[in-house]
Structure 1
Amino acid sequence: MSPTDPIPVAIPVALGDAFAWYAPGPLRRGVLLCGTFGFEQGCAYRSWRELAATIAGAGCPTLRFDYPGQGDSRDPDGPEIPAALDAIRAGIAFLRERAGVEEVAVVGLRLGATLAALSQEDSAGAGIDRLVMLSPFVTGKAYRREMAMQSRLLDVMPDRTPMPQEPDALMVGSFVLGARTLADLAGLDLMAPARPPAPRILLLGPKVEALAGRYRALGSAVETGPFPDLTQLVSDPLFSRTPEQTFALVRDFAVDGATGERDGARDRSLEPCRLTDAAWSEEVSRFGPGLVGILCRPAGAWSGDTVLVVNSGRNPRAGHGRQTTRMARRLAAAGIASFRFDLRGIGDSPDRPDGSLPLYAADSVGEVTAAIDHLAGLGYTPSVILGNCSGAYQAFQALAQDARLRGALLVNLYCFDLKPGTDVETMVRDTFRHSQGYLARARQGRFWRRILSGEIGLSRIAAALLRDAAARLDRWSARMPWRTLQRASVAGRVARIRRRGARICMVYSADDLGIPTVQAHFGASDDRIGRRLGYPVTILPGTDHNLSRQADQDRVFALLERVVREARPAAEPAPARPSRSPGGLSLRLSRSG
């Protein structure tokens, strides 16, 4: 394949319980990508997709997948770690048997590299010919220790205290490692097998020389090198960056020497991927400007209701902590269809034309409209739209513009509008990474120590204070007559939404930074807010911005079911004084208690 040839379009396929993407290629060497787990893979998802496309563009059939219980895959019937090992073996078998390749190269990231190597321990027959291990964990205990440290940084309450953990479990970035998974991790050890996982191995990362020595002693040809850009890949879901130089080395090692002409007829015989369970059935859609989404339908009777879900931040369509996938299948069990999709620049959808971040992008509402049009063409016109944080921003814009939507559930909406020219990346870095403002943190001794050490610059503080002051001024003037009487004002758009019979349900975690925005536009009275929106604002006390705990997700699900039910065309008009929302405290009560 020449550099000018188009990159093959990936095809969704199933590997047992695992959802996978397969990109055909003419060469006889296939490449399997084994990502890492949970939060880290959510950060790396976009870059991992780019690596797969680069390898496929070089001519090798390429396969990447979600482990069972993660992403868009089914939940495994048994323990998580054995299911992940089985999925890796199924991927190798797919490339050899279905794609018809003669050689297989495997690329593993972090825990995925560890599992890829161990998948060959008891494997019989043709296995891995080349193996790339990107910063592997030599033992599962090392992975557990590092995830425990990450958890203390990632899973925190609004006051920055650690989130309470469930007994015998570990939450890491809203992904939960259960007791059995933790026990199985404790038994993983790359130094234990008596034979190497592959004849040729590329090991990139810190402290890999001991493992490289072990593999050389077992007869493998091993190359080593650093992985200097690992942190930028797996530590930040909003601003993760592709490690281009490292991935170029990975591509070259994976495809070097690949030859032959593979039988492409096998690819044409692949059937569309449909994952099903007792309560739901899912299939992938491509629509609009190359967007990718998944329609989840009830296996039983459909109520006629469909929920459209918009990405939060840069989380792929499965959602932070896989919440969206789980919610979609729970909706299907209740007879409600749903559609989760990726905006441009997120997940499996193409890049934005200018390469910018999709967060709070004004033109992304057109992609939401494209999703509504697509669903309408399938006979699943959505009645309710759901979004969290930046997804709530896009959901509100779509609700205001598209009369087909009759209800919205907006979770932790930070702002209704964003002024043109706003530096979104700076706003997000300064606002959402810190639940406390600079003035509040000024009362803390460690804040001043960071200033004196030079870790925080005074110019940065001054700029942040100016932005905070401008935001407070904007909120203060939001209900002034010259703004509320404008048709484009938030109050004006909400009034038009309500006149057509649609309603807005807003949910916040306690002390969320978006709460003052609602008060600025609609006042602090529960009754006044309820009359204007159609529902009172619900505050979930004792939870984090991402609603990581299952109990909080349950309360949001109860609200969503109610909004869907009351958005049906046959439903009675919204009462002038709506009843209290279930599952949380009202805005006024939470602020006083």
Structure 2
Amino acid sequence: MTSPQFATVQALDLAPLARPVAFEGCFGWLHPAHGPMPRKVGVVIVPGVGRDARCGHKPLRLLAEQLAGAGFATLRYDHPGQGEGLELAEGQDVLEAWTQGVAQAAQALRDATGVAEVVLVGLRLGATLAALAQADAAGLVLLAPVILGRRWLRELKVAAVLGGTGGRDDGEVFEAEGLSLASDTAARLSGLDLTAIHATTPKVLMIAQTEASDLLGEHLKGLGADVARADFPGYDMLFEDAHSNRAPTQVFDRVAAWLEASFQERATDPRQPPEAAVELRPPGAVERPVRFGEGLAGVLCQPDGDHESRRAVIFCNTGGDPRVGIGGFAVQASRLLARKGVASLRFDFAGLGDSPSDAPIHVYETSRQPDLAAAISFLNDEGLSDITLVGACAGAYHALAAARQDPRVGAVFAINAAKLIWRPGDSLAVGRRDEGKSTAAYKAGFRQPETWMRLLKGQVDVGAVAATLARRLVARWTRPANHGEVAALRGGMAAFASRGGRAHLLVGLDDPSLDEVANYFGPEGRNWRAHDGLTLSVRAGIDHGLALAFSRRIALAELQAFLGV
């Protein structure tokens, strides 16, 4: 087996590919400065956390590419204990670690490129951490900073309810939209108030449009900063679900223009970062960033030390989210499996996360079979031939499609497959509150007295429930008209099973994907279970995208059982 470092890729008609970096247990990407005017100043992009980080991941990559093209070497990274960073030690001060991580990222950029100065560009809580860290920076760009921590936590709770997960805040753990915080960390974050900081950088650009940001701007001016202000057009679109959101191009153009005007000095001796082997070492594992195919980016996670197994798992993107998975599920699973002797590859489909693409993409209509074929070929070249695909939501859809088309796929573990057949015009909002629960959950609810009490109190949106059930009834009535697609799905899975393939569907009892199974494989998936190797598990309490820690624990346990490790 070769020692994978940063695999060679075909030339792309794109900006120079970012280079992986690792520092102090953090993983990131360095975008080398290019274009006619390399600058003395470099940029560190500080991401948000939780859902803000997922929604902002690809847009911030695009910003990094834009700034690198303007001559600013740019580093973006995951916070300690977040994304692909190593886990923090038990009891470690999370807020302090995140703040120190900003300074460590700035130093990593200086060491790699030799830039004389650094500007910190932060989004949401990342902007707050940048303002707290300072890190001897020459300037700050605050993109919709979290100014009052308690208000931000309250907003997260509301978002969790609207997102259908509900979250958790019981005095021990604060949990919302994939972000889990110990009570002491939540308390410290709740006490944050940026208008109370005592120092700032000489130059600040703040892009926000709230009363609190007005107060912050005046406070920073009082501390002696040259503060430029601008509104944030495109804010709401940026924080749509990652499969549909858009980068705020006007804002990014404003950031680039401010940097170019504020830091005009060119580098006298620009230095390109050296090519170097990059790896992280979680307990029992070795992780190396890789590129393969048409510039697809990912991380190969292998057991630490000698191992003879030829088994490997490939994790697919959940919807449009980056490869780490909601709540870091793919990272947690990769590292757990490595300790059990199983290698894994988590990578981004083309156009998602860190994998560039000029082509328009759709979470379902863009075929991911070329991406998965390239991933399988890469693993085969590494001596790994026993391949299992793992995916949630749209990732499950593409994994099951690959199983039917690529004979090299031996097994699939599919979580809440929102679509087994996609038809143009179908809703992408599956799993959100407005799509409702599964029909089985509604039937169970009708038998519970508390449901009728909520109905009498006006706490049930009867119209929305009726509309949801009506759509599903129509879908079942019209299924015979689509018998060709249904037959192809059933026949494809039967052929997969007949050649020895295994596929497991993990479905939440309340999840609408349970209706998808019933539509095409009968009640309780009887036509699915009829084949050896095709299994189904329906579990109560599992949210659609594994935003809750409880859901991730169930999924991890069932994945281990499926793999027999």
> CA distance change for structure 1 residues 466 and 473 in 2, over 3 Å: closer, same or farther?
same
Identify the range of structure 1 (64-73 vs 145-154) with the bigger mean alpha-carbon deviation: 145-154
Return the alpha-carbon distance in structure 2 between the equivalents of residues 282 and 263 of structure 1: 33
Identify the range of structure 1 (16-25 vs 427-436) with the bigger mean alpha-carbon deviation: 427-436
Indicate yes or no: 2:150 matched with 1:141: yes
Q: Secondary structure at the match of 1:294?
A: strand
Identify the range of structure 1 (29-38 vs 96-105) with the bigger mean alpha-carbon deviation: 96-105
Q: Secondary structure at the match of 1:311?
A: coil
Q: Deviation at 1:106?
A: 1.3
Match of 1:287 in 2: 292
> CA distance change for structure 1 residues 527 and 473 in 2, over 3 Å: closer, same or farther?
closer
Indicate yes or no: 2:159 matched with 1:150: yes
Match of 1:259 among 251, 261, 265: 265
| Contact 1:68/1:76, CA 8 A, preserved across alignment | yes
| Contact 1:8/1:56, CA 8 A, preserved across alignment | no
Q: Deviation at 1:322?
A: 1.3
Match of 2:361 in 1: 356
Return the alpha-carbon distance in structure 1 between the equivalents of residues 327 and 138 of structure 2: 34
Indicate yes or no: 2:276 matched with 1:271: yes
Q: Deviation at 1:53?
A: 0.6
Pairing 1:423-442 to 2, within 5 Å after superposition: 423=425, 427-429=427-429, 432=432, 434-436=434-436
Indicate yes or no: 2:185 matched with 1:181: yes
Q: Secondary structure at the match of 1:276?
A: coil
Return the alpha-carbon distance in structure 1 between the equivalents of residues 552 and 110 of structure 2: 41
Indicate yes or no: 2:96 matched with 1:93: no
Q: Secondary structure at the match of 1:536?
A: strand
Q: Deviation at 1:436?
A: 2.4
Q: Deviation at 1:13?
A: 0.2
Relative contact order, higher structure (CA 8 A, sep 6+): 2
Indicate yes or no: 2:178 matched with 1:170: no
Return the alpha-carbon distance in structure 2 between the equivalents of residues 164 and 132 of structure 1: 32
Match of 1:591 in 2: none
Return the alpha-carbon distance in structure 1 between the equivalents of residues 368 and 429 of structure 2: 21
Return the alpha-carbon distance in structure 1 between the equivalents of residues 385 and 337 of structure 2: 16
Letter in 1 for 2:364: Y
Return the alpha-carbon distance in structure 2 between the equivalents of residues 100 and 241 of structure 1: 33
Cα-Cα RMSD: 3.0
Match of 2:29 among 21, 31, 47: 21
Match of 2:6 in 1: none
Indicate yes or no: 2:138 matched with 1:129: yes
> CA distance change for structure 1 residues 19 and 103 in 2, over 3 Å: closer, same or farther?
same
Q: Deviation at 1:48?
A: 0.9
Return the alpha-carbon distance in structure 2 between the equivalents of residues 550 and 114 of structure 1: 26
| Contact 2:28/2:77, CA 8 A, preserved across alignment | yes
Identify the range of structure 1 (243-252 vs 544-553) with the bigger mean alpha-carbon deviation: 544-553
Match of 1:579 in 2: none
Return the alpha-carbon distance in structure 2 between the equivalents of residues 135 and 164 of structure 1: 25
Q: Deviation at 1:293?
A: 1.3
Q: Deviation at 1:334?
A: 1.2
TM-score by length of 1: 0.82
Identify the range of structure 1 (234-243 vs 14-23) with the bigger mean alpha-carbon deviation: 234-243
Q: Deviation at 1:166?
A: 4.7
> CA distance change for structure 1 residues 291 and 382 in 2, over 3 Å: closer, same or farther?
farther
Letter in 2 for 1:554: R
Q: Deviation at 1:466?
A: 8.8
Match of 1:159 in 2: none
Match of 1:65 among 48, 60, 77: 77
| Contact 1:10/1:23, CA 8 A, preserved across alignment | yes
| Contact 2:167/2:176, CA 8 A, preserved across alignment | no
| Contact 1:169/1:179, CA 8 A, preserved across alignment | yes
Q: Deviation at 1:178?
A: 1.5
> CA distance change for structure 1 residues 188 and 210 in 2, over 3 Å: closer, same or farther?
same
| Contact 1:527/1:536, CA 8 A, preserved across alignment | no
Match of 1:537 in 2: 536
Letter in 1 for 2:230: G
Match of 1:201 among 201, 204, 209: 204
| Contact 1:114/1:138, CA 8 A, preserved across alignment | yes
| Contact 1:530/1:536, CA 8 A, preserved across alignment | yes
Q: Deviation at 1:140?
A: 2.7
Letter in 1 for 2:280: L
Q: Secondary structure at the match of 2:122?
A: strand
Match of 1:212 in 2: 217
Return the alpha-carbon distance in structure 2 between the equivalents of residues 76 and 381 of structure 1: 33
| Contact 1:155/1:171, CA 8 A, preserved across alignment | no
Pairing 1:49-64 to 2, within 5 Å after superposition: 49-64=61-76
5+ residue gaps, structure 2, are 1-12, 444-451
Indicate yes or no: 2:352 matched with 1:346: yes
Return the alpha-carbon distance in structure 1 between the equivalents of residues 139 and 192 of structure 2: 21
Return the alpha-carbon distance in structure 2 between the equivalents of residues 143 and 525 of structure 1: 41
Q: Deviation at 1:264?
A: 4.4
| Contact 1:438/1:465, CA 8 A, preserved across alignment | no
> CA distance change for structure 1 residues 505 and 166 in 2, over 3 Å: closer, same or farther?
farther
| Contact 1:494/1:533, CA 8 A, preserved across alignment | no
Identify the range of structure 1 (143-152 vs 38-47) with the bigger mean alpha-carbon deviation: 143-152
| Contact 1:109/1:135, CA 8 A, preserved across alignment | yes
Match of 1:316 among 305, 319, 322: 322
| Contact 2:176/2:548, CA 8 A, preserved across alignment | no
Match of 1:8 in 2: 16
Letter in 2 for 1:334: K
TM-score by length of 2: 0.86
> CA distance change for structure 1 residues 24 and 468 in 2, over 3 Å: closer, same or farther?
same
Q: Deviation at 1:46?
A: 1.0
Return the alpha-carbon distance in structure 1 between the equivalents of residues 286 and 298 of structure 2: 14
Q: Deviation at 1:414?
A: 2.8
Identify the range of structure 1 (332-341 vs 71-80) with the bigger mean alpha-carbon deviation: 71-80
Return the alpha-carbon distance in structure 2 between the equivalents of residues 9 and 18 of structure 1: 19
Pairing 1:435-454 to 2, within 5 Å after superposition: 435-436=435-436
Indicate yes or no: 2:370 matched with 1:366: yes
Return the alpha-carbon distance in structure 2 between the equivalents of residues 429 and 524 of structure 1: 24
Pairing 1:225-240 to 2, within 5 Å after superposition: 225-240=230-245
Pairing 1:459-498 to 2, within 5 Å after superposition: 468=472, 471-475=475-479, 489-498=488-497
5+ residue gaps, structure 1, are 157-161, 452-460, 567-593
Return the alpha-carbon distance in structure 2 between the equivalents of residues 175 and 400 of structure 1: 35
Return the alpha-carbon distance in structure 2 between the equivalents of residues 163 and 306 of structure 1: 32
Percent identity (aligned): 30
Return the alpha-carbon distance in structure 2 between the equivalents of residues 483 and 394 of structure 1: 16
Return the alpha-carbon distance in structure 2 between the equivalents of residues 528 and 232 of structure 1: 41
Q: Deviation at 1:62?
A: 0.5
| Contact 1:101/1:262, CA 8 A, preserved across alignment | no
| Contact 1:6/1:57, CA 8 A, preserved across alignment | no
